[in-house]
Structure 1
Amino acid sequence: MTVLSRQALFSRTWFQVCALALAYLLAGRLSLLLAIPPGYAMAVYPPAGIALGIIIVAGYRLLPGVAAGAFLVNMLISWESAAGISWASTLLAALLGGGAALQALAGSYLIRRFAGSNLSLDKDTSIFRFFLHGGVLACLISASVGVLSLYKLHFIPGDHVINNWLTWWTGDTLGVLTITPIVMVLFAQPREIWNSRRWNVMVPLAICLAVVISVFTYIRHREEQKQFLEFRLEVERISQDLQNKLNNHTDAVNNIERFFASSKSVNRSDFSTFVQHTIDSNKAITSLIWAPKLRHADKTAFEASVLQEGYVSFKVSEKDASGKLIPVKARDDYYPITYIAPFRTGTLAFGFDMGSSDIRRIAIEEARDSGNLTATDPLVLVTDSGEQHSVLLYAPIYAPGKPLDSTEKRREAFQGVAMSVLRMGEVIEDALSKQDQKNILIKFYDLSYPGNKGIFYDAIKIIDPGHFFQSTINFGGRQYALLAQPSSAYWNSHVSWITWFTMIGGLLFTSLLGIYLLVVTAHTFNVEILVTQRTSQLNDSEERLRAILANAAEGIITMNPSGFIESANQSAEILFDYPRGALFGRNILSLFPDPASEAFLQGYMQDQLELHEKQARQEVVGKKRLDQEIPVELAIARVELGSQTLLVLILHDMSERKRVEKLKSEFVAAVSHELRTPLTSIRGSLGLLVGGIGGAIPAKAKNLLEMANDNAERLTLLINDLLDFEKLEYGGMQFNLQETSLPALVKKAIDANKGYAQKYSITLLFDAEHSVDAVVNVDQQRFIQVLSNLVSNAVKFSKKNGQVEVYLSRSNGWARVSVVDHGIGISRDFQGSIFQKFTQEDAKAARKYAGTGLGLSLTKTMMEKMGGRIDFNSIEGEGSTFYIELPVLS
C-alpha cells in the first residue's frame, strides 16, 4: 500500500509539473503578443505571476515545472527569431529557466517567512507584505539573472543592460501584482475566503486586464503604423537621394558622350581636362574611360600611334586565367582602354581590351544596340587600395551625323564607349548622412545578380521581417533593391512612450485595484466572520437568557408603556395561576386592581416618577386568576431599546415572608409578655436581696446572688436588644422626630452614663458650655439610646482609670458627635464586620466585656432611620473614635 501510494504521489507530482510547464509556456507565448517593438520588451509578464501563485499554493515540488516552462518559452523565442537556435541560445534558455524557478522559490519563501503561513491575506499588513516580498523584492532575481546572462553571452551590448533590467523587473513585478491574485483565488487555501473573492476580486481584475490589454493593443497598433510611416518616409527620402546620386553619375557619362559627339577630334589632354571636375566632385567614381572600337586590321597601327605618344610599353592586352595581363588574342573587334582619368603611370587598365571580358563585352554590345547607358553585372575590381565591388557604366558613342534609328545603323555608326567605374558602396555612403547610417540599416544589391557578389552594401545582420521597407532603383538599364530596417539606435530615439505609459499605467491601476479589492474583501470577510460569531453568541445569549428567565424563581414580566404585557416567564404565570402564554396581551392593571398598586404602576407607565422613586421597590397586592389576592414585592424599571421603550417588572411572592413575619411578631409578643415580665420580676428580687432587704447574707451566698443578678441584667439587655432589633427590622419601632438642640441632648446622654462609667473607674469628659450649637431633627429617646451605646462601649473597652472624651463639631451642613476612647482599639481584620449582628472580635472578648454583639448594629440602623450616619476610626492598641452625624437644621 505504501509503495502504491508513493508511486501515485510521484505520478501526480510529475503530471502537475508538466501541466505547470505547459501553462507557463502558453502564458509566455501569449505574452509575446504584448511585446512593444522592436524586440520582446514587455511591460507585463504573466508567467511570473502564475509561477509564484502555483508555488505558494502547491509547494516547492513544482519548481521543475517553472524551470521547464521558462526554458521552453525562451527556446521558442530563439526559434522564431532570425538568429535561430544555437548552443548560446540553448544555454541562455537554461539560465533563464533557472532564474525563473529561483525567483518563484525566493518569492514563496519570503512570503511565508515575513507575511506568515496564513495565506488567507485577511489583513492589510499581510497583503502589503505579500506583494512587497513576492513581487517587488523577489522579481529582482529573474531580472538580474536574465540580463546578466544576455550580456555575458553577447546577446545585448553593455549600454542596454540597465534599460533591459528595468523592463524585465517591471514586467515580472506587474505580472505578479496582476496575475498572482487570480491564481490565489482559483487555488489558494482556505477556500472559504478565496471563494468569496471569486466575484469580488477575480472578475473585476480580469475585466480590468482585458480593458487594459485592448487599449494597449489598439494604441500599440496605431503607434506602430505611425512609426512605420515615419520610417518609410525616411527610407523613401534615402531611396530618392540614392536615385539622384546615380542619376548624377549617369549624367557624368552622358556628358562624355556629348563631348565626343560635339568635337571633331578629342585628344588625351582634352579628355583629361574635360572629366577632371567630375572626378574631383564624385568620390565614388574610380575613373572615367574612353575605349574606341578597334578592328583587328587597325590594331597594329593603333598600338603604334599610342607608342608615338610616349607610352613605350603600351599593348592591347587581356587577362589570362590567373589574372595576369597578356597580349590580346586575335578577334574581329577590340575595345582597348585608351583614355583614362585619372591616369597613373603603370596602371593595369591602360590598353586592356574590355571586349575580352564577357561581362564587359555584353554590356558594351547592349549599350551599342540600344543606344542607352548600360551597367555591367557587379564586379570585384583589383585596385591600388584593394578589391572593390564596382559597376561599369557604358555610354555608346556614335559617329556624328550618322542615322541611329535602327540597331543595324547604330552598329554601323558605333565608334566606342565612354565608361565610368563606379564604387556602389561609396555611392550608398554618400547618400546617407551620419544620422541615417546610425538609425537605418541598409542593404543594397543587384536584383538580377544572385549570390553575395550582387551585394554592394549590407549593414543588416539579421532581417526583422516585421519592420523593414524595400524600394527599387533603376540604373544603367538594371534594377537594384534598397532594403532598409530600423536600427536599435532608431528605436531608442523613437520610443513609443505613449504605448509604455498606457500599458504600465493601466497595469499599475489594475495592480492597485487588485490590492484594494483584496483589502476590501478581507475586511468584508472578517466582518462577516465577526457577525457570524456575534450572531452565534447572541443566539446563545438569547437562548441562555430565555432559559434563565424561563427558570428564574422570581416572576418577570415585560410590558409596553401602555401597560400591555409582552412577555411573562413561567414563574410569573405560576404566581398568578395562569396557563402558559395566557398573560400575553393582558393589561397589567388587571393583575393589580387595588388603588395603591394602580397608582404606582401608572406613575411608571406615564414616566412621571422621580429617579429615586423609579429605583424603589414597593409591596403591592396582586390578584390571581380566580380573584385570590396575593402579596407581591414589585420592582420595576424602564428600559430603552432603540426607539422602543419597555417596562420590566420583577415580582417576588411575599406570602411566605408575610407568614414568617406573623410568626416572628407572635414570637416577639410571647417574649415580651411571657419572658421579659417574669425575668423583670426575677431581676428585681435578686436586686433587693443583693441590696440587703432580706437581712444579712453569708459571703458565699452573696457572691452567688450578685452573679445571678449580673446575668439577669445581661439577659434583660439581650432581650431588649432583640426586641428593638425585631421592631426596627419589621417596622414595629416608631420614631418621633423633633427639632432638638444637640449639645443639651448630648449632655443628657452623658449624665445618664456617668454612674456606669464610675463603675469601671472611667472619667467622662464633655464641655457642653464651649461646644458648638446645632439644631437637628431626631427622636430624643432613640438618640440617647444610640449615644449611650457608644459611650458604654467606650467605657467597657477603656483601660482602668482612663477617660472617654465626647466632642461636638459641625461641617458642611452636618453635626458630628465623636466618642473617643484610649482602650484596646479594633483589629484591622475585624473593622469590616463591626456593624454586623452578633459580632464581637473573639469569644474571649465576649466573656470579658459582657456584650451581645447587637449594640452597634442597632445603633447603625437607628441612625439611618433618623437620616444620619455612623462611622469610626481605630488603631489597634491605641483606642477608637466612633462618630455619628446628623444634618443640621440651623
Structure 2
Amino acid sequence: MIRETLIHNRIIIFILSGLAYYFAGMIGLELAIPPGFASAVWPASGVALALAILFSPAPVALGTFAASFLLNLQLTSAIYNQLTLSALIIPFFIGSGAALQLLVGWGLFKYFMGRTTASDVGNTIIRFSLVVVPLSCLVSASVGVVTLQLNAVISHDVFVFTWLNWWLGDSIGILLFTPMIIVVFSKEGKFKFIRRMQVVIPTVLIFTSTCMLFFWSIEIRQEKMNAEVEDEAKRYTQELKIKLQLSKSKVQSYQAFFQGSDYISFKEFQQYSKTLLDRDSHLYAVGWVEIIQHSNRDDVVKSLRMQGFPDFEFKTPKDKRMEVLKTKNKYYPLLYIYPYELNKPALGLDLSELPGRLELLKKIEVTGKGRVTKPITLVQERENDKSFVIYLPIWKKYPKDEEIKGFASGVFRASELFGNAINEAEKNNIGISIYDITDITQPDMLIERPVNSHGYIREKIKYIDFQGRRYQITFTPSINFKANDKDWVSWIILICGFIIAALIQAFILMMSGAIEHTNQVVKIRTKQLTQAIDKAESANKAKSMFLANMNHES
C-alpha cells in the first residue's frame, strides 16, 4: 500500500512538473530575441529546480526531460510538420541536458546549503547565487549549444554568443524563480505570509514591467526589419520588371527586323541572331513563326528544303517524337530558329499543336498585342527549371490595311533571366519565389528559392503584370536575415530588468531573514530575561519569607 502510494505521488509530481516546465518554457520562448535559438531568460530552469528541491528530483527530472523534448521538437520540426531524424535528435539531447542540469543543481543545492529549503542568511544566498546557479547552468548550455552546432542549426560564428545567452538565460531563470517558488510553496511555518508577499509582489511587478518594455522594444525592432524587407522587395521587384522589359526588347528587335523586309532567308536570320545574341545568355532561343494557309504549304516546305533542309516538313509532337502533320486549313510552323543545333528537332513544329498555344496565338491575332506563355519545361531541362516564351506579332502592311503574317518568338529560362537578382537576394538572406497567377485557380511556379523562414519578419508579396500575364513575387526573409545585427537594446532591457529583480529579491530575502532572525533573538532574549527576573523575584520572595520567619522565631 505504501509502495503504491509512493508510485502514485511520483506520477503526479512527474505530470505536474512536466506541465509547469512546458508552460514556463512557452513564456521563455516569448522572451527569445529573434532570430536567436536561446532565450535570454529561461524561467523553466528555475521552476524545475524549485520543484526538485520542494518535492523529489527523480520525477521532476523526468518531467523536465519530457517537457523540454516537446518544446524543442516543436521548434525543430516546424510544429510537428517535418519529423526527421535530426528533428528528434536535437530535442532529445537538449531535453537530456535540461534534466541533467536539474539533477546537478539539486545536488549542489543540498551540498552547499543543507537540506533546509529556507534562504534566511546572507552567506546562504551568496553561496546559492555564486556557486549553485553558475555551476549547474554550465550543463544545459554546453549540451544544448554543442548539439545545435553539430547539427548545423547554428554556425561557428554565433557559437560563443549562443552559449553565453543560453547560460545567462538559465542562470537568471534560477536566480529569479527558484527562491520565489520555494518561499511561496514551502511548508507552513517556514515563511510568514507577510514575508512571502514581500518577495512575490516586487518580483512580479518588476518581471511584468520588464516584459512590457521588452515586447515594446521587440515590436520597434520588428517594424524596422519589416521596413527593410519592404525596401528590398521594392528594389528587387523593380529589377525583375527591368529584366522582363529587356527580354521583350530582344524579341522586339526581331519584330523590327522582319517588318523591315519582305523576305528574310534562314541564313540572314542566323547571321542576325549570331551578331545579336551570342553574348546574351538570357535568351535561350529565338524563332520565326509564320501563319501559313494550306494552299501555301507546299511552297513553304519547298523553300526550306532548298535552303539546306532536305527533310523539312510541318510536324506535330506525338509520344515524345515528331511526325508529319496532317492537312489543316491554317498552320503555325516554326520556320527559323536560333541556335539551330540545340533546337534542331523543333524546326517545322506547328505551334498550334501544343497545348494552349493556339489560343494564345489567336489572342495575339485578335488584339494585335504580344503575349507570354505560362511557365513551361523545355525537353532538355529538369522539371523545376522553368522557361517562358514571348510572342510578338509581325505585321504585313498593305496600302490601306495590314495583317499579321507571323510571330517573333523568344524563349527565356527563368534561372538565366532572374538568376542574378535572386542570387543577390539569397546572399542578403532573402528567398524569392515567382508564380504565374494569371489563372488564380492554378498558379504555376516560374522560379523558387526556398529558405528557412525567419518567423518574426513577415514575407512581402508584390505583383508584376507583363504581356497579358500576372506574376506574384514573394520575398521571404530567412532565419539569418540581419543575424549579425544583434538586438542589443532588447537584450539589455531583458537582462538588466531580471537581474535587478533577482537582486531586489535576494536583498528582500536577506533583510527579511535578518529582521526575522533578530525578532527571534529578541524573543529568546526577552524570554530568558523574563525567566531570570521571575527567578530573581522568586528568590527575593523566598529570602523575605525566610527573614520574616527568623524574626518571628526570635
Alignment partners' CA distance in 2, 1:155 and 1:337: 52
Matching residue within 16, 21, 41 for 2:18: 21
Cα pair distance change 1:393/1:403, threshold 3 Å: farther
Alignment partners' CA distance in 1, 2:514 and 2:373: 82
Report the TM-score when normalising by structure 1.
0.57
**Where do residues 55-70 of structure 1 align in structure 2 (5 Å cutoff)?**
55-63=52-60, 64-70=62-68
Larger relative helix fraction: 2
Deviations for 1:52-84, whole angstroms, at most 9, x for unmatched residues? 001011122432222232233334445653744
Cα pair distance change 1:141/1:465, threshold 3 Å: closer
Alignment partners' CA distance in 2, 1:113 and 1:281: 77
The alignment partner of 1:42 has SS state of coil
Aligned-pair CA distance for 1:395: 0.8
Alignment partners' CA distance in 2, 1:386 and 1:77: 32
**Where do residues 466-505 of structure 1 align in structure 2 (5 Å cutoff)?**
467-505=458-496
**Where do residues 596-607 of structure 1 align in structure 2 (5 Å cutoff)?**
none
Aligned-pair CA distance for 1:167: 2.9
Report the TM-score when normalising by structure 2.
0.88
1:44 is aligned to 2:35: no
Cα RMSD (Å) = 3.3
1:526 is aligned to 2:517: yes
Alignment partners' CA distance in 2, 1:257 and 1:487: 42
Alignment partners' CA distance in 2, 1:36 and 1:43: 7
Match of 1:511, as an amino acid? A
**Where do residues 531-610 of structure 1 align in structure 2 (5 Å cutoff)?**
531-551=522-542
Alignment partners' CA distance in 2, 1:276 and 1:506: 70
Alignment partners' CA distance in 2, 1:499 and 1:51: 26
Alignment partners' CA distance in 2, 1:216 and 1:278: 59
Cα pair distance change 1:346/1:504, threshold 3 Å: closer
Match of 1:173, as an amino acid? S
Alignment partners' CA distance in 2, 1:487 and 1:279: 36
Query: Which has the higher relative contact order, 1 or 2, with Cα contacts under 8 A spaced 6 or more apart?
Result: 2
Matching residue within 419, 440, 450 for 1:429: 419
Aligned-pair CA distance for 1:359: 3.4
Cα pair distance change 1:474/1:514, threshold 3 Å: same
Larger radius of gyration: 1
Cα pair distance change 1:276/1:82, threshold 3 Å: farther
Does the CA-based 8 Å contact 1:378-1:446 persist in structure 2?
yes
Partner of 2:448: 458
The alignment partner of 1:488 has SS state of coil
Partner of 1:100: 98
Deviations for 1:103-135, whole angstroms, at most 9, x for unmatched residues? 111100011112333332222222122133442
Cα pair distance change 1:68/1:344, threshold 3 Å: closer
Alignment partners' CA distance in 2, 1:39 and 1:387: 33
Does the CA-based 8 Å contact 1:219-1:499 persist in structure 2?
yes
Match of 1:23, as an amino acid? A
Matching residue within 426, 433, 437 for 1:447: 437
Aligned-pair CA distance for 1:421: 0.4
Deviations for 1:22-41, whole angstroms, at most 9, x for unmatched residues? 22222222333223223654
**Where do residues 171-320 of structure 1 align in structure 2 (5 Å cutoff)?**
171-188=169-186, 191-193=189-191, 195-268=193-266, 271-272=269-270, 275=273, 279-280=277-278, 282-320=280-318
1:110 is aligned to 2:108: yes
**Where do residues 300-379 of structure 1 align in structure 2 (5 Å cutoff)?**
300-322=298-320, 324-344=321-341, 347-379=344-376
Does the CA-based 8 Å contact 2:74-2:80 persist in structure 1?
no
Aligned-pair CA distance for 1:270: 5.1
Does the CA-based 8 Å contact 2:385-2:414 persist in structure 1?
no
The alignment partner of 1:358 has SS state of coil
Deviations for 1:283-332, whole angstroms, at most 9, x for unmatched residues? 2211222211122221221122122223344333332212x233233222
Cα pair distance change 1:385/1:342, threshold 3 Å: farther
Alignment partners' CA distance in 2, 1:172 and 1:194: 29
Deviations for 1:189-227, whole angstroms, at most 9, x for unmatched residues? 584346453122221111110110111111111211111
Match of 2:482, as an amino acid? W
1:137 is aligned to 2:135: yes
Identity fraction in percent: 26
Does the CA-based 8 Å contact 1:95-1:145 persist in structure 2?
yes
The alignment partner of 1:493 has SS state of coil
**Where do residues 809-828 of structure 1 align in structure 2 (5 Å cutoff)?**
none
Alignment partners' CA distance in 1, 2:514 and 2:188: 16
Q: Which runs of 5 or more structure 1 residues have no equivalent in the other structure?
A: 405-411, 554-569, 576-652, 660-890
Partner of 2:404: 414
Q: How many residues align?
A: 550
Aligned-pair CA distance for 1:450: 8.9
Match of 1:121, as an amino acid? S
Cα pair distance change 1:10/1:387, threshold 3 Å: closer
Deviations for 1:837-868, whole angstroms, at most 9, x for unmatched residues? xxxxxxxxxxxxxxxxxxxxxxxxxxxxxxxx
Alignment partners' CA distance in 2, 1:362 and 1:244: 27
Larger relative strand fraction: 1
Alignment partners' CA distance in 2, 1:311 and 1:218: 73
Partner of 1:507: 498
Alignment partners' CA distance in 2, 1:402 and 1:22: 87
Does the CA-based 8 Å contact 1:49-1:176 persist in structure 2?
yes
Partner of 1:802: none
* Higher mean displacement: 281-290 or 541-550: 541-550
Does the CA-based 8 Å contact 2:392-2:407 persist in structure 1?
yes
* Higher mean displacement: 123-132 or 261-270: 261-270
Alignment partners' CA distance in 1, 2:375 and 2:342: 26
Cα pair distance change 1:329/1:183, threshold 3 Å: same
Does the CA-based 8 Å contact 1:372-1:396 persist in structure 2?
yes
Match of 1:33, as an amino acid? E
**Where do residues 385-396 of structure 1 align in structure 2 (5 Å cutoff)?**
388-396=385-393
Cα pair distance change 1:475/1:86, threshold 3 Å: same
Does the CA-based 8 Å contact 1:379-1:453 persist in structure 2?
no
Alignment partners' CA distance in 1, 2:17 and 2:455: 32
Cα pair distance change 1:388/1:75, threshold 3 Å: closer
Alignment partners' CA distance in 2, 1:16 and 1:294: 85
Does the CA-based 8 Å contact 2:459-2:475 persist in structure 1?
yes
Alignment partners' CA distance in 1, 2:289 and 2:504: 81
The alignment partner of 1:347 has SS state of helix
Deviations for 1:790-832, whole angstroms, at most 9, x for unmatched residues? xxxxxxxxxxxxxxxxxxxxxxxxxxxxxxxxxxxxxxxxxxx
The alignment partner of 2:102 has SS state of helix
Partner of 1:778: none
The alignment partner of 2:344 has SS state of coil
Aligned-pair CA distance for 1:438: 3.9
Deviations for 1:642-668, whole angstroms, at most 9, x for unmatched residues? xxxxxxxxxxx9x9xxx9xxxxxxxxx
Aligned-pair CA distance for 1:155: 4.7
Does the CA-based 8 Å contact 1:438-1:487 persist in structure 2?
no
Does the CA-based 8 Å contact 2:391-2:409 persist in structure 1?
yes
Partner of 2:51: 54
Aligned-pair CA distance for 1:88: 4.2
Match of 2:487, as an amino acid? S
Alignment partners' CA distance in 1, 2:80 and 2:433: 16
Aligned-pair CA distance for 1:49: 0.6
Aligned-pair CA distance for 1:180: 1.0
Does the CA-based 8 Å contact 2:454-2:478 persist in structure 1?
no
The alignment partner of 2:386 has SS state of strand
Deviations for 1:328-370, whole angstroms, at most 9, x for unmatched residues? 3322222222333344487333333222212333322222222
Does the CA-based 8 Å contact 2:435-2:471 persist in structure 1?
yes
